[in-house]
Structure 1
C-alpha cells in the first residue's frame, strides 16, 4: 500500500450486510458499535465468547457456526476479519478486495482496505481518531487522544459553542454533595453550555468559578433563617430567562428531588410551556456518610436505610414523618437538615423504644475540604452538637453502621 494517510469517512450501515469473521475478543469489542449502527450482522465463526454468543441469542447478530468459506463476503458492504487463522484471513481479505468491500483486518493493518478508528461519543457527536500510517501505529496513543477529547466534551472543559439556534429551556441539575468532582458528567457539560445559572448555596460553588465571563449567575441561596429568594421568585426567574431564548441551568445541591423543590420548579416550567431537562445528582444522604467511612448498609448489620427530613421537629404539626415507627426499625436512619432539631429527634426515638446507646454520627460539610465528623449517641447527641459547635449543612447517621467503617475515610 502507498504510504498515504487514510481518508476518514463515516459509514451508514443501517440494514446493510456486515460480515464478521471470528468470534473472539476483537469481535466482542467491535460488535456493539456495529449493532448500534443498525447493521445486518453475520458472524462466521465455529466458536464465540460468551458475550458474543449472548448477542446471537438475543437476535442482535446472525451466527453461522463454521469457518470462513469462499463467497461469504460477496454481498457485504463491510467486513471485519478477526480470526486466528492467517490463511483464512488472507483469502477473505482477497475476496473483499475483489468485491470492493471495505475490509478491516485485526492481524495485518497493512493488508486491510480500512482501519477502525478509536471512537467515542458525546451528545450526538462521534469523535474518531486515526493514526496517519499503518506502520508504527500506536493504538494506546490514539485511544488516549480519543478519551481526552470525549472527556473534555462531556465534562465541559473542552467547550465547542453551538452556532445553530439552540432550543431554549431549563436544566434542573443536581450538583452532588459539595465536591465539584462529584457532579455528573452531563451536569457539568450543561453548565459549560449555559447562558444563565441560578445556583443554590448548597450547590458545588467551585464550579461557578469555571464559567465563562458572559454567563449570568443568580444567587438563589436559601440560608436557614436568613436571607432567601422565595421559591416563586426562583420559578419566575427560570421562566423569564428561558423565554428570552437563554439556556438556563438551575444548579441545586445533591439531587433535585431529594428534599429539594425541583418538582415545584418543573411543574411551574411545564405550566409555562418551557421545556425542562432533569439531571439527577448524587444525594448527600448516601455519599456524605460514605465519604466519612460510614456505609448506610452493611452485611449482618443493616439491611435497609431510611432517609428523612429533620427540618421540622417530631412534635411539629407540619411533620409528615412517622417517628414512632422509625424508632422500631433496626436499620440505618439518615437525617438531613436536622442539626438544630436533633435533640428532640433523639428524645422521640428513645421514647419510642430506640436504645439511648444507639450510635450517631454527624458529618458536617461532607465531601468538601471542610468535612468533619462528630460521633455521639442518641443520649448525648444534643449536648455534643452544642459542645462541638456542629453547624449545617450536616448529615446525621443513626444506627450501628456508624461503628463499622474506619474513621476518616475520604
Structure 2
C-alpha cells in the first residue's frame, strides 16, 4: 500500500524510523541512527538517555551556546573523587568563565574545562604556597564585577572548615550575588570510603567532627578536649596529622582508653587512598613511621574495628 511503517518491535522490518527524543532545560534531544545496530530502538534510546543525562549533570556542554549567569557560585566539590561532586555543582562548573580552585577540590575536573575558562589556583598547602583569604575574596569580587560567571571550587563542603561564610560575607558586602552549593564532607565520606561507618548500631550513636589544626594546649583552641575525651561516640579529626601526638596525649589524659582504635585515611576517595590503623597510644609513632601526610582524616573510636563480616550488637 506504499504506507511508511515504523516497527518498534522489529526495526529491520520497518520502512521508517523515528528518533528517540528527550528534554533537558528547554533543549530537545533527538537521536536517530541508521546502521544495523543503531536501528535497535533500545540502543537508540540508550544514546538519547546518555546525552540528556550529560546535559543535566554538566558532563556534556556546548561552551559557546551555554546559559551564563554572572555572579559567584560557591561549590562544594566533595572529598576528592571527581564523581562525588553534586550534579548542580558540576553543571555550574561547566558554565563558568572563571574557576578559583582549592587544592582539596576535585581538580581532575579542571582538565575538562574549555580552553577559554580562566583557572586560578587558590591552594593553601601546609608549609607550602599560599593564597591569602583576602586575595581570594578580592579575586571573586573583581571577576564577578566584570560580569563573569565565577565558580569558587572548594573541597568537601564550603561550610565545613572551608571558610565559606567568610567569602559569602565579603561578596555580600560588595553587593554581589552568591549561590552556595553544598558538597559531600570528607568527615563522613572518607571514613566511609575506607570501610568505616561513623555510627554503627550498638557501637556508636553519635559522632563529633573536630578541627585539629590547632594543638590542644594552644591558647587559640576553641575545642573542649577534656569533654571530648569523655564521649563514647566516634571522633573525626580533620587537619590534625601533624598535631595527632598532642591530641592523643590530651584525650588519654582526659580518660579515653589508650587502646581506643584509631584509623588515619590519607587522600580518601582518590586513587592514592590508603588507610593506616593504630591505637590512641600508638597513633603518633605510627603516623611518623608510615609517613602519613595531609590531607588525612583521623577516626577515633570503636567503629574503626567494625568490619563487613561483623554482626551488629544487640543493644541499641
- Distance (whole Å) between structure 1 residues aligned to residue 223 and residue 18 of structure 2: 57
100, 110, 131: which one aligns with 1:208: 110
Give yes or no for contact 1:195–1:247 (8 Å, CA) kept in 2. yes
Distance 1:272 1:155, change over 3 A: same
Judge which range, 120-129 or 380-389, deviates more.
120-129
60, 63, 75: which one aligns with 1:161: 63
Per the TM alignment, residue 154 of structure 1 is displaced from its structure 2 partner at its CA by: 2.5
Give yes or no for contact 1:293–1:408 (8 Å, CA) kept in 2. no
Distance 1:322 1:116, change over 3 A: farther
Per the TM alignment, residue 167 of structure 1 is displaced from its structure 2 partner at its CA by: 3.5
Q: What SS does the aligned partner of 2:62 have?
A: coil
Q: What SS does the aligned partner of 2:232 have?
A: coil
Larger Rg over CA atoms: 1
Deviations 1:338-369 (A, max 9, x none): 00111111111111111110000000011111
Give yes or no for contact 1:292–1:408 (8 Å, CA) kept in 2. no
Per the TM alignment, residue 141 of structure 1 is displaced from its structure 2 partner at its CA by: 3.7
Distance 1:408 1:241, change over 3 A: farther
Q: What SS does the aligned partner of 2:298 have?
A: strand
Give yes or no for contact 2:63–2:114 (8 Å, CA) kept in 1. no
Per the TM alignment, residue 189 of structure 1 is displaced from its structure 2 partner at its CA by: 1.7
Deviations 1:148-206 (A, max 9, x none): 11221133332124648733111111111111111112211211111111111111121
User: Where does structure 1 lack aligned partners over 5 or more consecutive residues?
Assistant: 1-98
RMSD between aligned residues: 5.1
Per the TM alignment, residue 110 of structure 1 is displaced from its structure 2 partner at its CA by: 18
Per the TM alignment, residue 225 of structure 1 is displaced from its structure 2 partner at its CA by: 2.7
Q: Which runs of at least 4 in structure 1 moved beyond 3 Å after TM superposition?
A: 99-143, 161-167, 405-410
Distance 1:332 1:102, change over 3 A: farther
Q: What corresponds to 2:41 in structure 1? A: 139
Confirm or deny that 1:409 pairs with 2:311.
no
- Distance (whole Å) between structure 1 residues aligned to residue 234 and residue 16 of structure 2: 57
Distance 1:177 1:133, change over 3 A: closer
Distance 1:396 1:108, change over 3 A: same
Give yes or no for contact 2:201–2:313 (8 Å, CA) kept in 1. no
Distance 1:288 1:360, change over 3 A: same
Per the TM alignment, residue 406 of structure 1 is displaced from its structure 2 partner at its CA by: 14
- Distance (whole Å) between structure 2 residues aligned to residue 321 and residue 305 of structure 1: 15
- Distance (whole Å) between structure 2 residues aligned to residue 197 and residue 136 of structure 1: 39
Per the TM alignment, residue 212 of structure 1 is displaced from its structure 2 partner at its CA by: 1.1
Q: What corresponds to 1:354 in structure 2? A: 256
- Distance (whole Å) between structure 2 residues aligned to residue 408 and residue 241 of structure 1: 57
Distance 1:106 1:232, change over 3 A: same
Distance 1:235 1:292, change over 3 A: same
Judge which range, 159-168 or 362-371, deviates more.
159-168
- Distance (whole Å) between structure 2 residues aligned to residue 407 and residue 158 of structure 1: 47
Confirm or deny that 1:252 pairs with 2:154.
yes
Deviations 1:300-337 (A, max 9, x none): 11111111110101111111111111111111110000
Give yes or no for contact 2:77–2:86 (8 Å, CA) kept in 1. yes
Distance 1:146 1:135, change over 3 A: closer
Distance 1:344 1:106, change over 3 A: same
Distance 1:102 1:255, change over 3 A: farther
Deviations 1:78-108 (A, max 9, x none): xxxxxxxxxxxxxxxxxxxxx9999999999
Give yes or no for contact 2:99–2:152 (8 Å, CA) kept in 1. yes
Per the TM alignment, residue 235 of structure 1 is displaced from its structure 2 partner at its CA by: 0.5
Give yes or no for contact 1:292–1:407 (8 Å, CA) kept in 2. no
Deviations 1:3-35 (A, max 9, x none): xxxxxxxxxxxxxxxxxxxxxxxxxxxxxxxxx
- Distance (whole Å) between structure 2 residues aligned to residue 137 and residue 408 of structure 1: 57
Give yes or no for contact 2:157–2:182 (8 Å, CA) kept in 1. yes
Q: What SS does the aligned partner of 1:100 have?
A: coil
Distance 1:110 1:298, change over 3 A: same
Aligned residues: 312
Distance 1:205 1:164, change over 3 A: closer
Alignment TM-score, normalising by the size of structure 1: 0.66
